[in-house]
C-alpha cells in the first residue's frame, strides 16, 4: 500500500526535477550556408527546460563532420561556424543530453581570382606559416631524392622532380605519407590551409596549362596533373625582378635551349644559400640523374648556356610559384 503511494510521488518528483535540470528543447538552425575561404557566421544555441527556462545541466557539445571543410568555436550559447578553403557539404552535430540536433552546412566555392593570374585566391597560401611550410617541404623532398629516390616519384626528369616535390609539399605528413615517400626525411612541417588531393577547386589538377584568369567551369581544361617545364614556366610561376637577391628556398630557375627541340626548357630548384638541385634530364647514357651544385659553380659551367648570369640569353631567370604570391 505504501509502495503504491510512494511510487507516483517518486515519479512526480523525478519529473519535476528532470523538467528543471535537463534540456527538453533545443533551438538551432536546420542549415547554414557559407562561402569558402575562412568566412564565419554565428548562430545561437538555445536550450530550454520543460518549463521554458534555462536547464541547470546539459551544456551543448558540438562535433563537426569534416574538419577540413568546417571549423567552429563555441562561447556559451553562441556558436561560431567557419568555412575553410574547400567547397562542399557537411554538418555539425549539437548534443545536450538527452537531445541531439544536426545542422547541415553548405560551403559554396569561392572562385575569386583577384589579380587575374589564373589561380583562385583560395588556392594561394595566404599565411606566412603556410608559405614557409610549403617551401621547406618542397625543398626537403627534392633534396631527399639525392640520397634515395622515392618509389612514388616516377617521372625522372627536371619537371618531373618539380611536380613530385610540389605535390608532396601539399600532402599531410602522417605515418602513411612517410611510408609511401620512403625517403630520408625525419621530420617535416605541413601546410594547414588544405591537403592534397583535397585542393580547393582544383582537386589533384594542380598545374595550369592554359592562359587566362580562373574559370570554375573550365578547371578540367585549364588545369592538369601533368605540366612540362614549358607549362610550369608559362602559367604557374611569376618572375622575380631582382633575381637571386630576391630568391627564397623553393623558387625556380628556368633555362631555354632551342637546339634541343624535344626538351628545350629546363628547370632547377633553388634550395637556399646559393645552391640548386635539379635533374639533368635524359642523356645519351640514359635517363640522367640528380645533381646539387652552387650558383657560383654553375656560373663557371663549361657550357655557357647553363650559366645563371644576366648575359646568358638561355637563362630565363628566377621564378616563384603563384600559390606563394
Domains annotated on the chain, with CATH: 24-108 (2.60.40.1080), 121-324 (3.90.1720.10)
Q: At what angle do helices 158-169 and 128-147 cross, to 10 degrees?
A: 130
pLDDT tens-digit readout, 260-277:
767 899 999 999 999 999
- In sequence order, the 6+-apart residues with CB closer than 8 A to the CB of 5 are none
How high is the pLDDT of residue 262? 76
The pLDDT tens digits for 157-199 are 999 999 999 999 999 999 999 999 998 998 888 999 999 999 9
Contact present, 131 and 123 (Cβ < 8 Å): no
Decide if 196 contacts 66 (C-beta within 8 A).
no
Q: According to the model, what pLDDT value does residue 2 have?
A: 65
What pLDDT is attached to residue 58? Answer: 80
Q: Which residues contact 140 (CB under 8 A, 6 or more apart)?
A: 185, 188
Residue ranges in the chain whose pLDDT is less than 50: none
Predicted TM-score (pTM) of this structure: 0.90
**Got the DSSP string for 230-268?**
HHHHHHSEEE-TTGGGT--TT-EEEEE-TTSSSS-EEEE
Amino acid at each position: 500500500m505504501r509502495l503504491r503511494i510512494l511510487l507516483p510521488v517518486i515519479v512526480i518528483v523525478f519529473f519535476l526535477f528532470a523538467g528543471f535540470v535537463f534540456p527538453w528543447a533545443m533551438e538551432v538552425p536546420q542549415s547554414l550556408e557559407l562561402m569558402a575561404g575562412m568566412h564565419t557566421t554565428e548562430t545561437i544555441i538555445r536550450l530550454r527546460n520543460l518549463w521554458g527556462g534555462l536547464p541547470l545541466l546539459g551544456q551543448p557539445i558540438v562535433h563537426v563532420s569534416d574538419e577540413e571543410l568546417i571549423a567552429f568555436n563555441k562561447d556559451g550559447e553562441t556558436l561560431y561556424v567557419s568555412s575553410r578553403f574547400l567547397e562542399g557539404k557537411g554538418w555539425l552535430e549539437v548534443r545536450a543530453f538527452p537531445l541531439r540536433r544536426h545542422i547541415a552546412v553548405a560551403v559554396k566555392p569561392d572562385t575569386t581570382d583577384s589579380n587575374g593570374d589564373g589561380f583562385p585566391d583560395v588556392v594561394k597560401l595566404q599565411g606566412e606559416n603556410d608559405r614557409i611550410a610549403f617551401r621547406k617541404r618542397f625543398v626537403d623532398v627534392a633534396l631527399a631524392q639525392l640520397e634515395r629516390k622515392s618509389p612514388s616519384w616516377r617521372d625522372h626528369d627536371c619537371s618531373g622532380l618539380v611536380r613530385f616535390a610540389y605535390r608532396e609539399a601539399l600532402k599531410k605528413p602522417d605515418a602513411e605519407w612517410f611510408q609511401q615517400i620512403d625517403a630520408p626525411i625525419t621530420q617535416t612541417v605541413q601546410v594547414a590551409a588544405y591537403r592534397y588531393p583535397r585542393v580547393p577547386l582544383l582537386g589533384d589538377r594542380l598545374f595550369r596549362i592554359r592562359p587566362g584568369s580562373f574559370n570554375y567551369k573550365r578547371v578540367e581544361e585549364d588545369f592538369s596533373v601533368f605540366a612540362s617545364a614549358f607549362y610550369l614556366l608559362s602559367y604557374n610561376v611569376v618572375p622575380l625582378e631582382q633575381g637571386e637577391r630576391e630568391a627564397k628556398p623553393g623558387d625556380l630557375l628556368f633555362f631555354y635551349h632551342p637546339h634541343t627541340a624535344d626538351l628545350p626548357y629546363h628547370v632547377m630548384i633553388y634550395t637556399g644559400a646559393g645552391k640548386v638541385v635539379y635533374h639533368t634530364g635524359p642523356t645519351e647514357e640514359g635517363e640522367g640523374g640528380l645533381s646539387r651544385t652552387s650558383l657560383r659553380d654553375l656560373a663557371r659551367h663549361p657550357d655557357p648556356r647553363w650559366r645563371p648570369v644576366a648575359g646568358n640569353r638561355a637563362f630565363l631567370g628566377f621564378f616563384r610559384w603563384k600559390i606563394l604570391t
